[in-house]
Amino acid sequence: MVHETLAATHAVVTLDVALPGIVWGWIITMNMWAKSVGTGIIFLAFFLLKKYPEQTGFIRFPVVAVSIVFIHIFLFFTVIDLHQMFRFWHIFFYPHLTSAITVGAWMATGFVGLLFAMAYAIYMKKDEAMYDKFLGWTTLLAIPVTLYTAGLMAESTARELWQMPTESAQMILAALLAGSATMLLLGGNQFSDPIKKDLGIILGLSAFAAFIIYMSEYIFGAMKAEEVGATLAFIKGGEYTAMFWIGQIMAFLAPMALICLSLKNKSYYLLKIAAVSALVGLWVSKHVWLVIPQLLNMS
Amino acid sequence: MQLGFLVDLHLCMGCKGCEIACKVENEVPLSTWRLRVKYVDVGTFPETKRTFTPLRCNHCANAPCERICPVSALHYLENGIVNIDKERCIGCAGCVMACPYGAIYIDPQTQTADKCTYCAHRIASAMMPSCVVACPVEANIFGDLDDPTSNISKYIQQHQGNVQVRKPEKGTDPHHFYVGGGNVTLNPLASERIEGHNLFNNITHLPVGGHH
């Protein structure tokens, strides 16, 4: 490990230029977070409409409305993060298909198209069969749409912390977590107890799996690569330590505990608190993971 | 033809002539750089040594920046140069995230990505890159890696065993080599970077956002 030789060499940079600060900041966090909600609620809608078709019919329009809103929040923050936002159309007219950004933009466009088709089916045509047919395709497309950011992070060769397939797993879990939390808040007391229980279990298990992955990287990441060790130092006593743990507690630990309590006490109120905590904590967790690799000096 | 660079760190004396020549030739804005010379002091007084390392784009044969660019603004020229089309760039900063050498920046004036192009415009006119011309000790050696009679090929042959690239573990296949380098000069984790006033300047980070 090179870093450990510092005590012997006393090597110190004495003249250099200023290094770039955080280039992908909170705007990209918003992008990822909103995408998790927008795609996750589609996954959960597909699940509920298949398992409880009689009891969940009323979610068809609210789900597509919420997904459209959050996917547009995602698209809005994607575009405003561009330093040349009015050249966004270049992605469609000069596409470079090795880039996850390009592939993601094309798929997100298709996803938005299907969402509007669903909205048309349920709002204009009042045709539930047509809606459900579109929902199947939308659910399929939601998988790569939610995963492409993981591909983008994997393509970021400089940022050793962002590895595949870990990021893919985190993205899909984030979508399930955000989707189930949003569905719990959306459905309110209109859902029966078994549905609430299912949503709570999905939320709790997603939080549990995501937390295990974060902790695995936290504990073992530094043993594989020096750069990962140097990056994780920012959350192991470094400047992002508090924010990292706030994110972990709010996104994963608190929801897990609250869901256990709510299942025991059959309290929907606790489920709602768990859902809000998970949504807020997810934003914080994603933000920390996005920012810390950018603090590392590349040169 | 595959153009490449080699810097003999035994020869470099840290005059920063290359840095200035690059700034002037390419009108690189304040707070950004295409080529810079980093000073690292090693040892404890009186047993100390100062090292100088010119750092620029490595023009990788397997360039992560080219791969991640969504609009092919970063693209290969036939001579192996990784060039940038600033008119096409959308400023997504994917390349900034991908480059393991920190060689790409967002130009604060054009709001597009920018980096060293090995002075592609000069090469098109059969001239050497401006940093090569400015170097008083010929520490910058530039030429065709495919031509065994070129200066750079001969230099690499003569110094076999002492030729290195930065971060070979990334698999980027850089077309930029160093002779006389070591961990302290080539690995950013091998030296401390203490923010604040130092030799003649204030070593710092740019504000959040990475651009003004």
Inter-residue contact B172 to B3 (CB < 8 Å): no
Contact A96 B69 (CB under 8 A): yes
A109 has pLDDT over 60: yes
Instruction: Provide the shortest C-alpha distance from residue B128 to chain A (in Å).
Output: 25
Contact A23 B106 (CB under 8 A): yes
Contact B64 A101 (CB under 8 A): no
Q: What is the pLDDT of residue A252?
A: 97
Closest chain B residue to A78 measured between Cα atoms?
A: B92
Closest chain B residue to A297 measured between Cα atoms?
A: B188
Domain positions in chain B: 3-193
Find the CB nearest B67 among A18, A19, A155.
A155
- The fraction of chain B above a pLDDT of 70, given in percent, is 97
The helix (run of H) or strand (run of E) holding residue A208 is helix A193-220
Q: What is the pLDDT of residue A91?
A: 96
More confident residue, A9 or B141: B141
Find the CB nearest A25 among B89, B199, B208.
B208
Find the CB nearest B210 among A9, A21, A82.
A21
Mean pLDDT of A131-135: 96
Inter-residue contact A274 to A5 (CB < 8 Å): no
Q: Is B165 left (phi over 0), alpha (psi -120 to 50) or beta?
A: beta
Closest chain B residue to A99 measured between Cα atoms?
A: B68
> Encoding tokens for residue A35?
């995408």
Find the CB nearest B90 among A12, A87, A155.
A87
Contact A299 B193 (CB under 8 A): no
Encode pLDDT of A241-250 as tens digits.
Answer: 999 999 999 9
Contact A13 B40 (CB under 8 A): yes
Q: How many CB pairs under 8 A join A and B?
A: 205
Q: What is the pLDDT of residue A4?
A: 64
Instruction: Provide the shortest C-alpha distance from residue B191 to chain A (in Å).
Output: 5
Judged by average pLDDT, the poorest of A7-11, A152-156, A184-188 is A7-11
Q: Of A106, A86, A79, A85, which Cα lies nearest the Cα of A95?
A: A106
A60 has pLDDT over 80: yes
ipTM value: 0.91
Rounded-to-integer distance, Cα B146 and Cα A213, Å: 46
| Residue A219 CA, distance from chain mean position | 22
Q: What is the pLDDT of residue B211?
A: 46
Amino acid at B98: A
Q: What is the pLDDT of residue B63?
A: 97
Question: What are the chain A neighbours of B184 within 8 Å (beta carbons)?
Answer: 9, 11
List of residues 6+ apart from A184 with CB closer than 8 A: A191, A196, A199, A200, A203, A271, A272, A274, A275
> Encoding tokens for residue B142?
């530039």
Mean pLDDT of B145-165: 94
Q: What is the pLDDT of residue B111?
A: 94
Q: What is the pLDDT of residue A1?
A: 47
Contact B68 A16 (CB under 8 A): no
Contact A16 B102 (CB under 8 A): no
Encode pLDDT of A217-248 as tens digits.
Answer: 999 999 989 999 999 999 999 999 999 999 99
B56 by DSSP, 3-state: which?
coil
Rounded-to-integer distance, Cα A265 and Cα B146, Å: 74
Find the CB nearest A84 among B91, B192, B201.
B91
Instruction: Provide the shortest C-alpha distance from residue B158 to chain A (in Å).
Output: 27
Contact A13 B103 (CB under 8 A): no
Give residue A20's pLDDT band: very low, low, confident or very high (50, 70, 90).
confident
Closest chain B residue to A79 measured between Cα atoms?
A: B92
Whether the CA torsion B173, B174, B180, B186 is positive or negative: it is: negative
Encode pLDDT of A156-206 as tens digits.
Answer: 999 999 999 999 999 999 999 999 999 999 998 899 999 999 999 999 999
Place of tokens 């936290």: A218
B5 by DSSP, 3-state: which?
strand
- For residue A287, with 0-12 CB atoms within 10 Å meaning exposed, 13-18 middle and 19 or more buried, which class applies? buried
Q: What is the pLDDT of residue A5?
A: 73
Q: Of A38, A263, A34, which Cα lies nearest the Cα of A139?
A: A38
Encode pLDDT of B13-23 as tens digits.
Answer: 999 999 999 99
Encode pLDDT of B181-200 as tens digits.
Answer: 988 999 999 998 888 777 77
Closest chain A residue to B207 measured between Cα atoms?
A: A21
- The fraction of chain A above a pLDDT of 90, given in percent, is 87
List of residues 6+ apart from B141 with CB closer than 8 A: B5, B6, B7, B8, B132, B151, B152, B155
Mutate one of A99, A224, A231 to test the B interface: name it (highest B CB count within 10 A).
A99
Contact A83 B106 (CB under 8 A): yes
Find the CB nearest A12 among B97, B191, B210.
B191
Mean model confidence pLDDT for chain B = 93
Give residue A268's pLDDT band: very low, low, confident or very high (50, 70, 90).
confident
Encode pLDDT of B38-72 as tens digits.
Answer: 999 999 889 999 999 999 999 999 999 999 999 99
Rounded-to-integer distance, Cα B148 and Cα B131, Å: 23
Inter-residue contact B143 to B152 (CB < 8 Å): yes
Mean pLDDT of B96-121: 95
User: What CATH number is given for B3-193 in this structure?
Assistant: 3.30.70.20
More confident residue, A265 or A133: A133
Give residue A17's pLDDT band: very low, low, confident or very high (50, 70, 90).
confident
Q: What is the pLDDT of residue B209?
A: 53
Phi, psi of A18, rounded to the nearest 5 degrees: -70, 140
Question: What are the chain A neighbours of B102 within 8 Å (beta carbons)?
Answer: 19-20, 158, 297-299
Find the CB nearest B98 among A81, A155, A226.
A155
Mean pLDDT of A4-15: 82
Mean model confidence pLDDT for chain A = 94
Mean pLDDT of B97-113: 95
Question: What are the chain B neighbours of A152 within 8 Å (beta carbons)?
Answer: 68, 94
Q: What superfamily in CATH does domain A21-295 come from? A: Formate dehydrogenase/DMSO reductase domain (1.20.1630.10)
A3 has pLDDT over 80: no
Q: What is the pLDDT of residue B208?
A: 58
B212 has pLDDT over 50: no
